[in-house]
């Protein structure tokens, strides 16, 4: 009798894996876009997804949770999305290659399902973070949709049991963890190069003895007072880490080479004496994280600067075309948070608590909306009815336009824009504090302890930010 020919094995279905490959590519592309937007934000620019105070990715990216993720893992949340997307692409491509070669696709199929599960858990966590800060992140919503679609296809569109069976876990984890680890390591370098959310106070290292303070506080039963920062220029320079010393050297070189310009307008609000040896003029935007950092650093400098050494003048450059003719208007007709904060700040300029209220506005940046602006701005010496009337007055709008026109004379490329004694400089708190301690002398002998400045274009500080048309 002739033997019956063996029945050929049924072809492995690949439609689901092709769909997962496409979804992985789309998720990766969206993660790259979000990362580019994050870089724009960190450079002081306005993002396309920062639509208003309720639909705003910037608030989520500046949240404590997002900062903790970046600080802990070395990669921003957008980078983690890219790691996930690349892992999905790698596993889907592996599935298709094995199917074509006639190999078992079970490790790749199980890995895609485990990756889908991790994606669903991440979506739940990140969505809860957005809810906790009270905003919707539009680009994040796009990622959520892609990840959930990926999970649906992975669980229903791939053959075989949902979970790895006995004897399959080893190969599944080997390929899934291996591909994910490669993607993660590949993202570490750009992740570490991505600026973190600014933290105030880091440039003022303490010189007081922590042990002595702790002993004193334990004897009194009171918490230890904050340590005093260096109060002499040699101490301050010696306290800086090497990279900060280099940055200070570069910033000083930029300051020395700059040509001072006469003020175009007299100051409307000024902290400190008009004849101070260090005069700071800064333009800020209420939702710019580097502006928040600058305002907080200047508040610290004001606390510790020798009397009469520093003056600060604050002007506005809201990154919203609704009230800034220098950039496109892409927001709704209702007054935006950036414009509301700018107008409110202008209206507070004559108030005795102007600087305190301005610092409160920046302190609430992550949760700032128009209601919060009005709540904070009217919490001091200016009553809310008076503030509301001022914010719509033609005089206030004229002052805001004056600030924009003034900033455009310096071809502003991003916020904050900082002038020290009429010279444009990086928004560098160490530079300002060092000049204060040097009584405004950029050639003080103590600066000789700094390393030689680097040539411009080799990592020396500039002022890169959002390009305003």
If DSSP codes are grouped into helix, strand and coil, which group holds residue 424? Answer: strand
In this prediction, residue 93 carries a pLDDT of 96
236 in any annotated domain: yes
CA distances from 419 to 278, 279, 432 (A): 10, 8, 10
d(CA 162, CA 116): 11
* Shared domain check, 231 and 94: no
d(CA 247, CA 242): 9
What's the CATH number where 98 sits? 1.20.1440.130
Phi-psi region of 447 (alpha: psi -120 to 50; beta: other; left: phi over 0): alpha
Q: Is the pLDDT of residue 208 over 50?
A: no
* Shared domain check, 414 and 373: yes
Residue position matching structure tokens 């209420």: 286
In this prediction, residue 413 carries a pLDDT of 80
Q: Of 181, 61, 197, which Cα lies nearest the Cα of 130? A: 61
Neighbours of 146 (CB within 10 A): 26
d(CA 169, CA 164): 6
DSSP-assigned letter for residue 365: G
421 in any annotated domain: yes
* Shared domain check, 130 and 28: yes
- Cα-to-chain-centroid distance, residue 349: 28
Phi, psi of 312 (to 5 degrees): -130, 130
Q: Confidence band (pLDDT; 50, 70, 90) for 468? A: very low
The pTM assigned to this predicted structure is: 0.64
* Shared domain check, 239 and 176: no
N-term to C-term CA, the chain: 86
Q: Is the pLDDT of residue 129 over 80?
A: yes
* Shared domain check, 189 and 226: no
Number of domains in the chain: 2
CA torsion sign for 265, 329, 390, 55 is negative
Between 225 and 89, residue with greater pLDDT: 89
Q: End of a domain among 173, 193, 213? A: 193
Q: Is the pLDDT of residue 3 over 60?
A: no
* Shared domain check, 326 and 180: no
d(CA 321, CA 298): 27
DSSP-assigned letter for residue 270: E
**Which residue intervals of 222-310 are DSSP H helices?**
233-239, 242-257, 289-304
216 in any annotated domain: no
148 in any annotated domain: yes
Q: Is the pLDDT of residue 98 over 70?
A: yes
43 in any annotated domain: yes
Q: End of a domain among 172, 193, 214? A: 193
* Shared domain check, 73 and 24: yes
CB 237, CB 434: distance < 8 Å:
yes
* Shared domain check, 177 and 245: no
* Shared domain check, 338 and 260: yes
**Mean pLDDT, rounded, of the chain:** 86
Q: Is the pLDDT of residue 465 over 50?
A: no
Neighbours of 466 (CB within 10 A): 19
Token couple for 275: 């004849």
CB 95, CB 179: distance < 8 Å:
no
Token couple for 68: 């903790």
Host domain of residue 332: 222-449
* Shared domain check, 137 and 241: no
In this prediction, residue 329 carries a pLDDT of 74
* Shared domain check, 176 and 226: no
* Shared domain check, 178 and 245: no
Among residues of the chain, what percentage have pLDDT more than 90?
63
89 in any annotated domain: yes
6 in any annotated domain: no
What's the CATH number where 299 sits? 3.40.30.10
Q: End of a domain among 177, 193, 209? A: 193
d(CA 345, CA 400): 10
202 in any annotated domain: no
CB 133, CB 63: distance < 8 Å:
yes
**Could you tell me which residues come within 8 angstroms of residue 166 by beta carbon, excluding any fewer than 6 positions away?**
none
- Residues 307, 309, 314, CA angle at the centre, nearest 5°? 105
């Amino acid at each position: 009798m002739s033997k019956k020919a063996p029945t050929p094995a049924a072809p492995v279905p690949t439609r689901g894996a092709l769909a997962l490959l496409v979804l992985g590519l789309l998720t990766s592309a969206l993660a790259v876009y979000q990362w580019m937007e994050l870089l724009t934000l960190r450079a002081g620019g306005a993002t396309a997804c920062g639509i208003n105070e309720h639909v705003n990715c910037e608030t989520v990216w500046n949240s404590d949770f997002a900062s903790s993720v970046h600080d802990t893992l070395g990669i921003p949340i957008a980078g983690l999305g890219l790691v996930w997307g690349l892992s999905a692409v790698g596993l889907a491509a592996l599935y298709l290659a094995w199917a074509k070669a006639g190999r078992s696709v079970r490790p790749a199929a199980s890995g895609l399902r485990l990756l889908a599960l991790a994606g669903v858990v991440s979506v739940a966590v990140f969505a809860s973070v957005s809810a906790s800060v009270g905003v919707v992140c539009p680009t994040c919503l796009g990622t959520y949709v892609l990840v959930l679609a990926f999970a649906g296809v992975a669980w229903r569109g791939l053959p075989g049991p949902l979970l790895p069976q006995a004897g399959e876990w080893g190969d599944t984890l080997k390929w899934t963890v291996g591909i994910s680890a490669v993607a993660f390591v590949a993202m570490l370098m750009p992740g570490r190069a991505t600026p973190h959310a600014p933290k105030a106070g880091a440039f003022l290292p303490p010189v007081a003895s922590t042990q002595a303070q702790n002993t004193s506080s334990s004897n009194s039963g009171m918490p230890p007072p904050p340590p005093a920062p260096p109060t002499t220029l040699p101490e301050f320079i010696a306290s800086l880490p090497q990279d900060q010393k280099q940055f200070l050297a570069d910033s000083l070189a930029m300051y020395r080479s700059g040509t001072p310009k006469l003020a175009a307008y007299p100051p409307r609000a000024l902290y400190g004496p008009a004849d101070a040896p260090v005069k700071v003029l800064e333009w800020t935007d209420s939702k710019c994280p580097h502006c928040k950092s600058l305002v907080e650093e200047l508040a610290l400098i004001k606390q510790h600067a020798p009397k009469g050494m520093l003056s600060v003048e604050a002007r506005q450059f809201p990154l919203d075309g609704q009230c800034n003719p220098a950039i496109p208007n892409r927001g709704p007709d209702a007054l935006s948070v950036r414009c509301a904060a700018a107008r409110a700040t202008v209206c507070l300029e004559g108030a005795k608590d102007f600087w305190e209220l301005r610092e409160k506005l920046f302190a609430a940046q992550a949760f700032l909306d128009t209601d919060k602006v009005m709540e904070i701005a009217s919490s001091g010496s200016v009553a809310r009815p008076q503030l509301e009337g001022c914010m719509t007055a033609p005089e206030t709008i004229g002052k805001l336009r004056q600030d924009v026109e003034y900033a455009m004379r310096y071809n502003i490329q991003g916020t904050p824009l900082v002038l020290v004694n009429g010279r444009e400089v990086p928004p560098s708190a160490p530079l300002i504090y060092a000049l204060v301690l040097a009584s405004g002398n950029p050639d003080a002998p103590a600066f000789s302890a700094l390393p030689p400045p680097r040539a411009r274009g080799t990592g020396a500080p500039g002022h890169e930010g959002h390009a305003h048309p």
